Amino acid sequence: MVIGIPKEIKNNEYRCAATPATVSELVRNGHRVLVEGGAGQGSLIPDDEFERAGALISDRDTVFRDCELLYKVKEILPPEYRFLRRGLTVFTYLHSNAHREMTDALLESGCTAIAYEDITDDTGAFPLLRPMSELAGKGGFLMACQYVQSLYGGGGLMLTRVSGIRTPEVAIIGAGNAGFGAAELAAALGNRVTILDVSVERMESVKHRLPNNVELLYSNRENLQKCLERSDVLVNCILWPKARKDHLVTREMLRLMKPSALIVDVSCDEAGAIETCRATSHDDPIYREEGILHYCVDNIPSAFARTATASLASATLPYALQLANKGPIRALRENPHLRRGLTCHEGILTLEETGLKQGRPYRKPEDIPDLSSPEGGSR
């Protein structure tokens, strides 16, 4: 199979879908890998390292035109729509729920698109969110340390323990990988940290890995409101169900917060858990709503591109190999966890959450004959 790895064009996106080590594995399995010149530049991977791994360095048009499997990091952007076509498989973070225009382009092209973020494992977890989640949680807290400074219009706090003055308070929504990452770093700097979650089991799993300056509370309205009232920083680390139209933190609840407080939305679900969240970029990362400073950059790990690329490429490689070795149809048919990541196929929307959120017709992958029938052919 011909696998194309383009240079990402999203604002300040420095990650690459593959490393020389993962390219070498793809080549060893008999696949032809086209890497766009400069694709690894943001992660300090020069073209010649990809070449030594067996890749062909190509121009952008050639990578998109000749590949059968498009292997990316971020969603398809408007300049890339023209390359979408029937017979192409797109494998990347898509977040189609938040990108109606992109979803239109995917459906109109007839391509097959598989989203990293929706692939599951045997436990129901999302293994391709995991490697970026802890990074995003820690990175989100590092960004909080920056944007809470007076230089950026923040509350002028140093998020660490300083002798003789009040210790800053950090509230974290979610005890998953991102929440744990944020809490671990915030606590290590001496802040008073509170984690809110609805899963007692999840809180128990992180309790013994965190120091004594971390409090774990069940997430109910009373506890959440108390945290909003006293916290200097609120870090949201939960993915809000795509079909829900309500919010955990409403616009009205922001009025409980200190005027100097900062919200960091690591999950960055537009109008999701936090009603006032809207995606921003590294170029223009902050804004105010109800007087509260918000940081809602949706690709935080890109700021730590070398670490993020190595982690993401290792996590996605087994799935890329399945798609390339078996062909996408057979791979999707045989692996229900990979199939859960299917966003669309030959003009049919297959992701229920996006269908409900955008008011579109959809079909479950299992209801599409060539994805459910053992006799269906491989492509």
Give the tens place of pLDDT for each residue, 156-167: 999 999 999 999
pLDDT-based confidence at residue 240 (cuts at 50, 70, 90)? confident
Q: What is the pLDDT of residue 378?
A: 39
Query: What's the CATH number where 213 sits?
Result: 3.40.50.720
Tell me which residue range forms the domain holding 366. 2-118+304-372
179 in the same domain as 272? yes
Q: Is residue 357 part of a domain?
A: yes
Distance CA 275, CA 231 (A): 18
Last residue of a domain, one of 265, 298, 331: 298
Last residue of a domain, one of 298, 317, 340: 298
Catalytic residue among 95, 99, 294, 345: 95
Domain count, the chain: 2
Q: Is residue 125 part of a domain?
A: no
341 in the same domain as 282? no
278 in the same domain as 332? no
155 in the same domain as 294? yes
Q: Is residue 123 part of a domain?
A: no
Q: What does the pLDDT look like over 262-310, one tens digit per residue? A: 999 999 877 789 999 998 999 999 999 999 999 999 899 999 999 999 9
Mean of pLDDT over the chain? 95
48 in the same domain as 138? no
| Type of residue numbered 107 | L
pTM: 0.86
- 247 part of the active site: no
Cα-based angle 190, 193, 196 (whole degrees, multiple of 5)? 165
Q: What does the pLDDT look like over 87-106, one tens digit per residue? A: 999 999 999 988 999 999 99
- 208 part of the active site: no
257 in the same domain as 242? yes
Q: Is residue 379 part of a domain?
A: no
What is the rounded average pLDDT of the residues 31-57?
Answer: 99
Last residue of a domain, one of 298, 322, 345: 298
pLDDT-based confidence at residue 154 (cuts at 50, 70, 90)? very high
Q: What does the pLDDT look like over 185-217, one tens digit per residue? A: 999 999 999 999 999 999 999 999 999 999 999
Q: What is the pLDDT of residue 335?
A: 96
Catalytic residue among 118, 232, 269, 298: 269
Strand order of the β-sheet with 169-173 is 214-218, 192-197, 169-173, 233-236, 262-265, 292-295, 286-289
185 in the same domain as 71? no
